[in-house]
């Protein structure tokens, strides 16, 4: 009697559910651990535990930048040559190189990238030397030297040129040695940047100060501000001393846990937050690889490298340790679970949800909820998740009741976390105040312009509500088109809600190079495309406050997409976003730190972020027209000869 072999699908199902359940249970237990072990220390204990914050007495010697400048020029020439050579042909024309040659070339590109991270970021800005200095940035450490500014700018450009060359090299490749190099590269890039000082952001010190509010002082960081605890020397390091936290309760629970378990020294706190950022970066990389190996194996290697080797993701996500990394790790986990559902729906729709589908759906939505409880942005992806799940079943209108089953665990998790910090209406103050904050956005530019003619309050109101309204319109349009593409509504409903010749549809087709359509696209591709473009229009229209590390969000989802034009655009925008740190840390200080110079630098950053991708978008359209015209002329000549 032969033994029955276990089903591969069943083993994948068990493994996916087990991993997701363990992760969710751990984070569900955190609020209970947090409230049970919370302690408040006396002022004397705090002072003894923390010690005094040092004052800077020396800067980095200016002489170090000259040899680094020469080195960066040499690397720039080489990287530019490699990038031009790799971009000289279209993706479809790139030959499948032998594995040994591709491995050597990718190893060279990865090794040079590692050298750049060490020479230009780790050695000049080591974490152990500057971590306990007050309000320090790379511009301060470099003494605002123009040589340092040029050197760091060239280093950033070199990193992106090497990154682009590596991306082009891995197209149409899927060998095991290349996979090993990509994953090892991610590991080494992350480890190097773990010990790089947060050179262009002070958010890490705000995390530390608010983690001490809850973890050491037993306070509420969603209501109280760092200035409420003047006896704590760490408060001197925070930038947002008068503002409560704008993050979710899960992040504040994690921060409190780090603050309480670090033992007091600032070095332990810094490594705790940077360790979470590194772990989130590596988990995101592995999750992207797992998703693509399941839904698009031919794009697995390229998509993984697209995220893992992106210099902005590494410098902002690991070196600066922004909590956007852990937010994206949870969100990508939700997409990973949904990719399992997609595999269960290869042929026919289900007449009703079975047990596996229900569990998968709940796990995916719970991971999405954990992402929202870190930062609130992923809440906009809840409707696309639900639309995708509803589209899996025949007669979905009869199964809407299952949506309630999905939402109940989500609401329970939200309640568990918010009951730790809930205090109404004080908890809403930070969101009200954020509506009055503008930085590096189209709304900010509009606010500046209107402020020249009308009162500031009126200018802020008009700018914020106009762009938020435009975002809502675009958001609803994407959801309607997604529902149409998934076949959830009849053509008559769509013709009423979304007329193809309407000015709104034409506007968003022009702004975003995307047409969801109703063709033969798979539900998974529709979900990824809709989610990606929701994040893009939020950054373009809905976000009044923008910083370069926000680009980590669309870059992570772009890896799951096959939109080549958006890949090119976001590569350029990522490079521009990282270069903007030079403007803020050097150019602004050269111009003099004043309000009018702040607006000048802000507008320069906007131009740097928006004009190159706009040019690429317009030129790509023109090139396609020229290619089409050339082909038509060639066909006419050929017909004439025959």
- Distance, in Å, from the CA atom of 56 to the CA atom of 197, rounded to the nearest integer, reads 15
Rg (CA), the chain: 26
Helix (H) or strand (E) holding 467: helix 456-485
Q: How far is CA 581 from CA 4, 113, 423, 574, in A?
A: 60, 19, 37, 12
Residue 595 CB neighbours (<10 A): 7
Is the bond preceding 425 in cis, omega lying within 30 degrees of 0? yes
Cα 184–chain centre separation: 21
Task: Using CB atoms within 10 Å of the CB of residue 6, give its burial: 0 to 12 exposed, 13 to 18 middle, 19+ buried.
Answer: exposed
Measure Cα distances from 27 to 208, 221, 235, 372, 453 in Å.
20, 19, 28, 13, 50
* Cα–Cα distance, 30 to 254 (Å, whole number): 8
- Class of residue 88 by CB neighbours under 10 A (exposed 0-12, middle 13-18, buried 19+): exposed
User: Contact, 589 vs 566, CB < 8 A?
Assistant: no
Q: Residues of the chain whose pLDDT is less than 50?
A: 1-8, 36-57, 91-93, 344-347, 513-519, 630-632, 634-635, 637-638
Per-position b or e across 552-565, b if 16+ CB within 10 A of its CB: bbbbbbbbbbebee
Which residue from 172, 158, 155, 168 is spatially nearest to 106, judged by alpha carbons? 168
Q: Which of 391, 385, 353 is nearest to 485 (CA)?
A: 391
Please report the pLDDT score of residue 136 as a whole number. Answer: 79
pLDDT of 361: 85
Q: Could you tell me the residue ranges of all domains in the chain?
A: 12-36+357-415, 42-54+65-89+97-322, 423-617
Q: How far is CA 449 from CA 95, 502, 598, 606, in A?
A: 51, 29, 14, 14
Q: Are 216 and 46 in contact (CB under 8 A)?
A: yes
Phi, psi of 323 (to 5 degrees): -75, 0
Cα 240 to its chain centre, rounded Å, is 22
Q: Which two tokens stand for residue 61?
A: 């010697």
Cβ-based neighbour number of residue 410 at 10 Å = 17
pLDDT at residue 564 in the model: 81
Query: Residue 26 has what pLDDT?
Result: 60
Answer whether 24's CB lies under 8 Å from 366's CB.
yes
Under 8 Å between Cβ of 310 and 555: yes
> For residue 60, which of 186, 194, 171, 197 has the smallest C-alpha distance?
197
**Taking CA 413 as the corner, what is the angle to CA 412 and CA 419, rounded to the nearest 5 degrees?**
85
Distance CA(311)–CA(159), nearest Å, equals: 6
| The pLDDT value given to residue 252 | 92
- Measured CA to CA, the distance from residue 631 to residue 634 in angstroms comes to 5
pTM over cut 0.75 = yes
Distance, CA of 175 to CA of 171 (rounded, Å) = 11
């Amino acid at each position: 009697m032969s033994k029955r072999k276990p089903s591969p699908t069943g083993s994948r199902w068990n493994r996916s559910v087990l991993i997701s359940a363990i992760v969710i249970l751990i984070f569900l237990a955190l609020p209970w651990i947090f409230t049970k072990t919370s302690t408040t220390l006396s002022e004397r204990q705090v002072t003894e535990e923390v010690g005094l914050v040092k004052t800077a007495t020396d800067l980095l010697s200016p002489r170090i930048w000259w040899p680094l400048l020469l080195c960066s020029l040499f690397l720039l020439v080489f990287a530019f040559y490699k990038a031009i050579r790799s971009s000289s042909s279209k993706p479809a024309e790139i030959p499948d190189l032998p594995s040994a040659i591709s491995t050597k070339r990718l190893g060279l590109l990865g090794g040079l990238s590692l050298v750049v991270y060490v020479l230009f970021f780790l050695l000049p800005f080591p974490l152990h030397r500057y971590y306990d200095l007050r309000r320090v940035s790379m511009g301060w450490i470099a003494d605002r030297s123009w040589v340092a500014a040029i050197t760091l700018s060239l280093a950033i450009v070199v990193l992106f040129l090497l990154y682009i060359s590596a991306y082009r090299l891995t197209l149409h490749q899927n060998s095991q040695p290349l996979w090993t190099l990509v994953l090892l590269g991610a590991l080494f890039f992350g480890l190097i940047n773990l010990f790089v000082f947060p050179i262009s952001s002070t958010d890490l010190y705000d995390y530390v100060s608010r983690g001490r509010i809850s973890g050491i002082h037993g306070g509420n960081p969603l209501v109280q501000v760092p200035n409420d605890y003047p006896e704590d020397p760490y408060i001197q390091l925070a930038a947002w001393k008068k503002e409560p936290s704008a993050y979710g309760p899960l992040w504040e629970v994690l921060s409190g846990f780090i603050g309480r378990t670090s033992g007091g020294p600032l070095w332990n706190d810094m490594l705790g937050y940077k360790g979470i950022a590194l772990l989130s970066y590596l988990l995101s990389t592995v999750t992207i690889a797992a998703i693509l190996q399941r839904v698009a194996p031919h794009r697995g290697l390229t998509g993984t490298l697209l995220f893992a080797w992106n210099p902005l993701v590494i410098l902002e996500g690991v070196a600066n340790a922004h909590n956007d990394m852990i937010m994206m790790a949870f969100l990508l986990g939700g997409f990973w679970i949904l990719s399992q559902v997609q595999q269960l729906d290869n042929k026919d729709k289900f007449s009703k949800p079975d047990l596996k589908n229900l569990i998968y759906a709940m796990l995916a939505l719970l991971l999405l909820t954990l992402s929202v409880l870190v930062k609130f942005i992923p809440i906009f992806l809840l409707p696309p998740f639900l639309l995708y799940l509803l589209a899996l079943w025949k007669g979905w209108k009869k199964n809407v009741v299952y949506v309630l089953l999905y939402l109940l665990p989500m609401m329970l998790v939200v309640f568990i976390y918010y009951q730790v910090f809930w205090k109404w209406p004080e908890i809403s103050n930070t969101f009200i105040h954020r509506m009055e904050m503008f930085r590096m956005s189209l709304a900010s530019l509009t606010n500046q312009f209107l402020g020249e003619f009308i009162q500031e309050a009126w200018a802020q109101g008009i700018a914020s509500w106009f762009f938020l309204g435009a975002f809502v319109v675009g958001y609803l349009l994407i959801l309607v088109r997604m529902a149409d593409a998934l076949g959830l509504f009849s053509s008559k409903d769509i013709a009423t809600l979304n007329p193809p010749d309407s000015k709104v549809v034409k506007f968003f087709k022009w702004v975003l190079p995307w047409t969801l359509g109703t063709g033969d696209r798979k539900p998974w591709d529709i979900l990824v495309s809709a989610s990606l473009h929701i994040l893009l229009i939020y950054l373009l229209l809905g976000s009044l406050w923008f910083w370069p590390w926000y680009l980590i969000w669309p870059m992570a989802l772009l890896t799951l997409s096959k939109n080549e034009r958006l890949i090119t655009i976001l590569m350029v925008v990522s490079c521009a976003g990282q270069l903007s740190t030079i403007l803020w840390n050097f150019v602004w200080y050269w111009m003099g730190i004043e309000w009018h110079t702040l607006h000048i630098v802000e507008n320069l950053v906007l131009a740097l972020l928006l004009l190159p991708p706009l040019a690429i978008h317009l030129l790509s359209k023109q090139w396609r027209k020229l290619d089409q015209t050339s082909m038509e002329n060639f066909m006419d000549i050929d017909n004439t000869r025959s």
